[in-house]
């Protein structure tokens, strides 16, 4: 099967080969488009509802029900989130190389669902938990979960992490696959889809952090985990319901092989003298040997001078007069192949910069929630706000601030900088990281005020005193998330070469998991 191009003469439309659910070439009128993408948006909405409700309030369950100390509980939560990040790389690789988006989402969606069900069962049955105890008043006498109790909890938790990690990078990628970039009308709709994807992500987070967290607080964590399981099941039903409408891109083999080929070839040719003329470097003649393309046939990159040590992978050895000798792809690579590896290397420092951003996010998801649990969360005599629900503040803020950013700040900054988006993506990330530091400054000041108020005056502050740290983080996320998701920043060519694996990098960078 030719996985490069498919010519659909009836519609006079040339597009990269995509197939329907039966493996037959997809048709323009029956498959893809916003109709198919709507089902993927449904999956995104339900999946983020399910995972956000668990992840953002997990610190409460781990301390109050499993009786782990605050330091251990925070470590459990951050390890859980970090595992989702790491497994997202595996999910993107698996999809690009072997299964494709749809089957990866379906298989690991059921794994995630099984984790939610097991969490609900474990939270419901007393014999699978330590004896009830108030960690605030009787912390020293509370028995920490051990043995079978701990084993079942961690198995359930990491089933959720495995499922979510492998589903998450494929949702946006599968939705984007429903649009044919060679068609001007559909390429314009792709922008609409990305806006819709960010909107449903925010809606899912808000519902999780308000309604489902409220259910967890007032009806019990077992009911809350059960609701997450039901919501995840609804997401899988939504995914399966759109099966007959999807355009599916077939997997193209391991995306890691071409990267390894460039590195190995550059090392083996390290003694070769680099050509002063880039046109002397090996071009596309090696395409036959490179059976696993890193980019579509329509993509071609010109040579650049950065990371010139990798250019040695393109130097062809002179072996007598036999110019027809075909080199192994592990000894000779194309310029296009090398340039894509260069782009991939160049964005690694940008990803590394957002480690601080995600570290701050981890504090808000753990210690800030615990901070709120010992404050006065009473709004009225009959209604108390769950501490975890404060994490909804950044998403509420984004709903109102992002339009203001687009309509007021961008035009104003554009007049000064001449840049289409007002400021460059790197500048956005820099501003976002700078602002994020003040979130922790606010958290430290509020914690000092809370402790002093309780110790010196025996007074419990209102939970809304810690709201500013969430507000500041929301502003930071607006800059960092928008800047880091720019295709101009990442390099569109890399996204073409390994779309789902690279989409994973964006997920990890943006912190788009609870």
What pLDDT, on the 0 to 100 scale, is given for residue 103? 93
> What is the structure's pLDDT at 514?
60
Domain boundaries, the chain: 17-254, 256-341, 354-497
Contact (CB, 8 A) for 436 and 476: yes
Q: What is the 3-state secondary structure (H, E, C) of 292-358?
A: CCCCCCCCCCCCCCCCHHHHHHHCCCCCCCCCCCCCCCCCCCCHHHHHHHHHHHHHHHHHHHCHHHH
**Predicted local confidence at residue 74, as pLDDT:** 87
How does pLDDT run across 112-155, given as a tens digit for each residue? 999 999 999 999 998 888 888 877 777 677 888 888 989 999 99
Lowest model confidence (mean pLDDT) among 52-66, 94-108, 293-307, 318-332: 293-307
Q: 73 is written with which tokens?
A: 């509980």
Residues 154-181, mean pLDDT to the nearest whole number: 90
CATH 3.10.20.90 fits 17-254, yes or no: no
Joined tokens for residue 33:
């488009």
Q: How far apart are CA 188 and CA 29, in angstroms?
A: 17
Packing angle of the helix pair 499-510, 147-176 (nearest 10 deg): 120
What percentage of the chain exceeds 90 in pLDDT?
Answer: 20
Residue 138, judged by CB atoms within 10 A of its CB (0-12, 13-18, 19+), counts as exposed
Residue 396 to residue 369: CA distance in whole angstroms:
18
* CB within 8 Å of 405: residues ≥ 6 apart: 478
DSSP state of 378: E
Position 326 pLDDT exceeds 80: no
Q: CA-to-CA distance for 275 and 250, rounded, in angstroms?
A: 38
Tell me, what's the pLDDT at 288?
41
The predicted pLDDT at position 319 comes to 55
Highest mean pLDDT among 195-199, 210-214, 288-292, 311-315: 210-214
Structure confidence by residue, pLDDT tens digits, 448-471: 988 888 888 888 888 888 889 988
Unique residue bearing structure tokens 């979960």: 145
Helix H or strand E encompassing 8: strand 6-8
Considering the chain, what is the average pLDDT of its residues? 80
- Nearest alpha carbon to residue 313 among 342, 349, 288: 342
The sign of the CA dihedral 331, 337, 340, 344 is negative
Separation of alpha carbons 335 and 314, rounded Å: 6
What digits encode the pLDDT tens for the residues 468-489? 998 899 888 878 765 555 444 4
Query: Span 229-250, mean pLDDT?
Result: 93
Look at residue 410 in the predicted model and tell me its pLDDT: 78
The most confident of the ranges 70-74, 222-226, 270-274, 430-434 is 222-226
Contact by Cβ (8 Å): 157, 115:
yes
Helix-helix angle 425-457:467-484, to 10 degrees: 170
Integer Cα distance of 495 and 294 in angstroms: 10
Quick check: 292 pLDDT over 50?
Answer: no
The Cα–Cα gap between 213 and 298 comes to 47
For the record, the structure tokens of 279 come out as 């046109």
The CA distance from 54 to 513, in Å, is 11
What sign for the dihedral angle of Cα 203, 209, 215, 218? negative
Query: How far is residue 173's CA from residue 294's CA, in Å, rounded to a whole number?
Result: 17
Closest CA to 47 of 130, 120, 109: 109
Residue 341, Cβ density class (10 Å: 0-12 exposed, 13-18 middle, ≥19 buried): buried
């Amino acid at each position: 099967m030719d996985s490069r191009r498919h010519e659909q003469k009836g519609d006079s439309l040339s597009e990269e080969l995509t197939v329907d659910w039966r493996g037959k070439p997809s048709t323009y009128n029956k498959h893809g488009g916003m109709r198919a993408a709507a089902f993927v948006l449904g999956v995104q909405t339900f999946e983020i509802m399910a995972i956000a409700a668990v992840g953002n309030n997990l610190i409460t369950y781990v301390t109050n029900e499993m009786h782990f100390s605050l330091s251990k509980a925070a470590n459990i939560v951050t390890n859980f989130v970090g595992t989702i990040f790491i497994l997202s790389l595996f999910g993107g690789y698996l999809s690009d190389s072997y299964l494709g988006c749809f089957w990866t989402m379906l298989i690991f969606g059921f794994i995630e669902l099984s984790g939610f069900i097991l969490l609900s069962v474990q939270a419901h049955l007393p014999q699978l938990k330590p004896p009830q105890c108030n960690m605030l008043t009787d912390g020293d006498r509370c028995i920490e979960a051990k043995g079978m109790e701990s084993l079942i909890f961690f198995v359930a938790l990491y089933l959720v992490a495995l499922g979510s990690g492998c589903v998450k990078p494929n949702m946006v990628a599968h939705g984007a696959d429903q649009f044919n970039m060679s068609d001007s009308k559909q390429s314009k709709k792709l922008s609409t889809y990305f806006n819709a994807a960010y909107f449903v992500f925010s809606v899912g987070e808000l519902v999780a952090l308000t309604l489902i967290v409220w259910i967890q607080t007032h009806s019990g964590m077992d009911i809350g985990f059960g609701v997450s399981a039901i919501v995840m099941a609804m997401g899988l039903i939504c995914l399966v319901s759109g099966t007959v409408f999807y355009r599916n891109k077939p997997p193209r083999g391991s995306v890691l092989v071409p990267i390894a080929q460039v590195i190995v070839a550059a090392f083996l040719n390290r003694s070769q003298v680099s050509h002063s003329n880039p046109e002397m470097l090996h071009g596309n003649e090696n395409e036959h040997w490179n059976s696993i393309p890193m980019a579509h046939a329509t993509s071609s990159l010109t040579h650049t001078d950065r990371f010139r040590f990798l250019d040695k992978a393109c130097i062809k050895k002179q072996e007598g007069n036999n110019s027809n000798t075909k080199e192994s792809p592990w000894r000779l690579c194309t310029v296009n192949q090398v340039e894509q590896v260069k782009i991939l290397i160049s964005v690694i420092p940008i990803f590394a910069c957002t480690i601080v951003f995600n570290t701050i996010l981890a504090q808000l998801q753990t210690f800030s929630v615990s901070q709120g649990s010992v404050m006065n969360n009473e709004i009225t005599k009959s209604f108390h706000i769950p501490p975890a629900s404060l994490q909804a503040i950044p998403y509420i803020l984004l709903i109102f601030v992002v339009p203001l950013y687009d309509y007021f700040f961008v035009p104003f900054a554009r007049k000064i900088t001449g840049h289409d988006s007002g400021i460059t993506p790197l500048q956005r990330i820099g501003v976002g990281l700078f602002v994020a530091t003040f979130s922790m400054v606010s958290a430290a000041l509020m914690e000092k005020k809370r402790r002093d108020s309780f110790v010196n005056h025996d007074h419990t502050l209102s939970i809304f005193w810690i709201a500013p740290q969430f507000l500041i983080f929301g502003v930071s996320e607006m800059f960092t998330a928008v800047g880091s998701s720019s295709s101009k920043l990442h390099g569109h060519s890399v996204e073409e070469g390994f779309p789902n694996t690279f989409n994973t990098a964006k997920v990890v960078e943006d912190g788009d998991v609870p």
